[in-house]
Structure 1
C-alpha cells in the first residue's frame, strides 16, 4: 500500500477545518445545526440554507467542497462573514443560479454594508463637488485679481508716461523763463540808461 502523501494529509486537514468553520457559521447566523461533513457550497433544494456571496468570490461556490484546492479552503475560511454569509433558503430567489444569492436579493449584513458604502460614496462625491466649486470660485477670484493687477500696472505705466511728459514740459518752461530773465538782464540796463538820460535832459531844460 502506497504511503499517503503529506500534501494530501494537509489538504484533508484544511478541508475539515473549512467544513467545521462553515458549519459553525451557519449555526451562528441561522441557528441551524448542520454537520461539518454535510455542509455544501452548492446546497440542494432541501437544504435550509443558501449562500450570499460577493461577486468576486462567486467562483468558490461553483464547486463542491471536496473538489477545491487547499488554497480555496483557506479563502473560504478567511471569507466567512466577510465576502460571503449563510442566509435562509426561504430568501433564496428562484432567479438566482444554483444556490448563490446575489447582492441584489434580500439580506441584511451585506446589504447594510453596500448601503453604507453607497452613502459614503455619495458623501465623498458631494464633498468633491463642493471642493471643485470652491476651487472654481477661487480660480475666478484669482483671475479677477490678476486682471485688476494688470489694469493697475497699465494705469501706472500711463501715469509714468504723463509724469515724464510733465517733466519735459517743466524743463521747457524753466528754459523759457531762464531765457526771459536773461533778456531782462540785458534790457534793464539799457532802460536804466535811457531813464537816466531822459531825467538829465529834463533837468537841463
Structure 2
C-alpha cells in the first residue's frame, strides 16, 4: 500500500511523538502522552529540551507543522544533541552560560536519570572552563607582578653596578695615591739617612780640630820666661 505524502508526514510525526515521550520517561521518569509532547514546553510541563547550538533549529517548529525531514532529524538526535532535562536544570545551564552568580539561580533538581547526559557534561565542562579561565587570570596577574619585580630588581642591580664601578674607580685612585705617598716617604727617609750620615761625619771631623788647637795653646803657654840681667856697675 502506497502512502500519500500527508499520510507519510502523519506517520513520521506519530513516530517522533512516541520517541520523544519514551525519551522523557527514560530520562526524567515522567509519563507524558505522545499526543501531549511539545517541542516548546512550559515550566509546568515538568520537562524541557536541551539542545546543542548546532541543532537549535530542531526546536523552532511545532510538531504539528513539521516536515518528515524534521521528524527524522529529531529522532536521530535524541540522546545525542537533543535531550529532555528538568526546567530547573535548563535554567541553571543557561544562567551559567550567561555567567550569572550562582546565588541568583534556583537550585537544580538532582536526578540520577540526568547523570551522564550531554547537558550535564556541557555544564561540567563549562564550569571547568570558567575555573581554568579564573586560574589563568590569576596566573597572568602573578606573572605581571613577577615581571614588575624583575624589572625593579634589574634596575636595582644596574644602580648597584654603577655604584660599584664608582667605588672601584675611587679605590683604584686611592691605591695609586697610596703608592705615590709611600714612594715619597721612602725617598724622604733615604734623604734623611744621607743627611744624618753627613752630619755624623761632620761632627767627628770637628772634634779633631778642637784637640789640635788645644795642643797649640799649650805650647804657647809652656814657652820659658825671659831672663832679667842685673848690671853690677
TM-score (norm 1): 0.53
Offset of 1:194 from its aligned partner? 2.1
In 1, the alpha carbon distance for the partners of 2:89 and 2:201 equals 128
In 2, the alpha carbon distance for the partners of 1:148 and 1:90 equals 64
Larger radius of gyration: 2
Match of 2:182 in 1: 170
Match of 1:188 in 2: 200
Offset of 1:162 from its aligned partner? 0.5
Match of 2:223 in 1: none
Q: Say whether 1:140 aligns with 2:152.
A: yes
RMSD, aligned α-carbons? 4.7
In 2, the alpha carbon distance for the partners of 1:24 and 1:200 equals 155
The gaps in structure 2 that reach 5 residues or longer are: 1-17, 59-66, 109-119, 218-233
Match of 2:166 in 1: 154
Change (3 A) 1:202 1:120: same
Offset of 1:168 from its aligned partner? 1.1
Q: Say whether 1:30 aligns with 2:25.
A: no
Aligned residue-pair number: 167
In 2, the alpha carbon distance for the partners of 1:132 and 1:161 equals 44
In 2, the alpha carbon distance for the partners of 1:69 and 1:204 equals 160
Report the secondary structure of 2:39's partner residue: coil
Change (3 A) 1:26 1:157: farther
In 2, the alpha carbon distance for the partners of 1:58 and 1:88 equals 19
| Runs of 4 or more above 6 Å deviation | 89-93
In 2, the alpha carbon distance for the partners of 1:124 and 1:150 equals 38
Change (3 A) 1:87 1:184: same
Query: Which digits, 9 at most, give the CA deviation of each residue in 1:105-160, with x for residues without a partner?
Result: 97954556544533443244234323432443354244324423432332122112
Offset of 1:167 from its aligned partner? 0.5
Match of 1:199 in 2: 211
Change (3 A) 1:141 1:179: same
In 2, the alpha carbon distance for the partners of 1:154 and 1:199 equals 68
In 1, the alpha carbon distance for the partners of 2:197 and 2:170 equals 40
- Higher RCO (Cα < 8 Å, 6 or more apart): 1
